[in-house]
Structure 1
Amino acid sequence: MKSLPPVFRSCLVPRCGAAFDWSSPWPAGWRGIAGPGARALYACPEHSAAWDLHRPATRRYPDEGGVAAMCACGWTTDTVPTLGMLETAFLEHLVPELTTPVVAAHALG
């Protein structure tokens, strides 16, 4: 049986060097979900403590001609024309939440 070539996925937090090989078994402590943009989002064990409080989702609004991103915490974006336009806004919300020690401690409590 041929082994698959490595397919590396990085933590969504900028300047975090953590990555895992997606073609191997899922590593302990990593969290991932299909993101609001064109790709999936992954958080390494160090940055995944608040993940359950901040889970991305999207909703289509055909009457407004677009989509919006929302988070399990209640945060939401305005409606935009494409999914790709949502990723930056969601990451601007999510990254500070996953890197704030107070939020992370609350999620663990």
Structure 2
Amino acid sequence: MAVDAENVASVKRQLAQLFEVSLRTTVPSEPDVAPLVEACIAKFGVKFGDYQCNNAMGIWSKIKGKQAEFKGPPSVGQAIMKNLSPSDIVESCSVAGPGFVNVVLSKNWIAQVTAFLTF
């Protein structure tokens, strides 16, 4: 992905687009689920990533008992993470607590964005 003004404009929007595709793959029976992507806030001095997708608990409440493949919000979070398409913006992902999908932004992507912004 080339770095340009569109890429710099909204990291959150780009991540939401990635998660939207993942959510459609993870729970195709729930087409009205919108990605809930937020910047991570450090709690107790610990930060688990740069951004977080917070859909697992809400999805679990909708599908509980309907889809045997999921055993709770953490397994929904794992599936969301597994179905996330590769992207230059994402360095790594992990699932924490009740299914929060934490995203660490790529240092290379950030360096490219920073170089772009300095023109």
TM-score bracket, normalised by the shorter chain, equals under 0.3
> Higher strand proportion, which one?
1
> Higher helix proportion, which one?
2
TM-score, normalised on structure 1?
0.25
